[in-house]
Chains A and B, each alone.
Chain A
């Protein structure tokens, strides 16, 4: 089933421990789909929290890298975009000019692409900081970068809300443009950051970190600790196929 594959991939990306994933799949046939996804999201939330608690300094570093990269990309394009959004205050005769509308869209589209590129760059930078917990830290980084997204997105949102010109088809095209900008900022940039983090070639590093000992030894994440959770659990508890010691 496709949703099974998606669930497996997502849960694995966020380092949800195998016994929890097994329990979720075991209960899946007996419970509703809503229960399954609600429990999965909660398990991901717990796994993210555990990853942060496990190495808070690393999480802070990755977050900082993401925010700085995103802020740099947005700052580079923001002035240009802001100049263009002043068009909404232009006299009505300028706005109804079809060439102006066309020029405005042609001008803003590369800026939208630049924002998406900033998101991808931020995702890649976060991945470089720690390729092992890429999904978890990308989500943490994007959540932490929300103020930047709001800063970048409030312009088009305000333009959408504050338009006082009489509604015309051409004005509607402007509105669509602003709505598209809002989507790019609040959905496109985070999505680009997370997908770049997940799909980067650096993600082929051998295995994932062990988070089994997060509440215990709190050892630093070194290359030696980068091993599969299954392998790790198996080593600490004996053979996976053996009968449990009960």
Chain B
């Protein structure tokens, strides 16, 4: 969902996978990206719309994803939880190894 948010309006399979590659250093499989997005869509966290069908894509439409209000709430909740968890780890205080 963070990748979808980062990509913004042009969030379909290829840019989302590119964003994940750029941020994590590993290239995800397109099939897995769509499978994850479909699961999120089934939970109502993202919404998809079909875009234009271009010749470059063999006449197939792009499927754009955007995060719903419910999805955004989930992201914020997850962020808060992570920050709380992060701040409670004494070994990570001060940046010393």
Cβ contacts under 8 Å, A17 to chain B: 34, 63
Q: Known: A23-B14, A26-B14. Contact between A16 and B31, CB under 8 A?
A: yes
Instruction: Choose one: A16, A39, A246; the contact of B66 (CB below 8 Å).
Output: A246
Does residue A114 face the partner (Cβ distance < 8 Å to B)?
no
**Are B35 and A237 in contact, CB atoms less than 8 angstroms apart?**
no
Instruction: Choose one: B31, B50, B60, B63; the contact of A42 (CB below 8 Å).
Output: B31
Once bound together, how far apart are the Cα atoms of A138 and B9, in whole Å?
40
**Are A20 and B61 in contact, CB atoms less than 8 angstroms apart?**
no
**Are A244 and B64 in contact, CB atoms less than 8 angstroms apart?**
yes
Cβ contacts under 8 Å, A49 to chain B: 35
Cβ contacts under 8 Å, A23 to chain B: 12-14, 30, 57, 62
Once bound together, how far apart are the Cα atoms of A44 and B49, in whole Å?
23
Instruction: Choose one: A21, A44, A215; the contact of B60 (CB below 8 Å).
Output: A21
**Are B64 and A22 in contact, CB atoms less than 8 angstroms apart?**
no
Look across to chain A and name the residue whose beta carbon is closest to the beta carbon of B14. A23
Once bound together, how far apart are the Cα atoms of A23 and B13, in whole Å?
7
Does residue A160 face the partner (Cβ distance < 8 Å to B)?
no
Does residue A206 face the partner (Cβ distance < 8 Å to B)?
no
Once bound together, how far apart are the Cα atoms of A217 and B41, in whole Å?
12
**Are A47 and B51 in contact, CB atoms less than 8 angstroms apart?**
no
Does residue B68 face the partner (Cβ distance < 8 Å to A)?
no
Give min CB distance, B65 to chain A, whole Å: 10
The number of residue pairs between A and B whose CB atoms lie closer than 8 Å in the complex comes to: 101
Within 8 A of B (CB), among A25-47: 25-27, 29, 39, 42-47
Look across to chain A and name the residue whose beta carbon is closest to the beta carbon of B50. A237
Instruction: Choose one: A43, A216, A240; the contact of B30 (CB below 8 Å).
Output: A43
**Are B63 and A19 in contact, CB atoms less than 8 angstroms apart?**
yes
Once bound together, how far apart are the Cα atoms of A4 and B51, in whole Å?
23
Look across to chain B and name the residue whose beta carbon is closest to the beta carbon of A46. B31
Within 8 A of A (CB), among B44-67: 48-54, 56-58, 60-64, 66
Instruction: Choose one: A19, A42, A234; the contact of B32 (CB below 8 Å).
Output: A42
Look across to chain A and name the residue whose beta carbon is closest to the beta carbon of B38. A215
Once bound together, how far apart are the Cα atoms of A22 and B56, in whole Å?
8
Q: Known: A20-B13, A215-B39, A245-B49. Contact between A43 and B31, CB under 8 A?
A: yes
Within 8 A of B (CB), among A48-101: 49-50
Q: A residues near B, CB below 8 A?
A: 4, 8, 16-27, 29, 39, 42-47, 49-50, 213-216, 233-234, 237-238, 240-246
Q: B residues near A, CB below 8 A?
A: 9, 12-14, 29-32, 34-35, 38-39, 41-42, 48-54, 56-58, 60-64, 66
12 A–B pairs (Cβ distance < 8 Å), ordered by A: A19-B60, A25-B60, A42-B29, A42-B30, A42-B31, A215-B42, A237-B48, A244-B49, A244-B50, A244-B52, A246-B64, A246-B66
Knowing that A19-B13, A46-B32 touch, tell me 15 more A-B residue pairs with CB under 8 angstroms. A8-B58, A16-B31, A19-B63, A21-B58, A22-B61, A26-B14, A29-B56, A42-B31, A46-B31, A46-B34, A49-B35, A215-B39, A237-B50, A244-B49, A246-B9
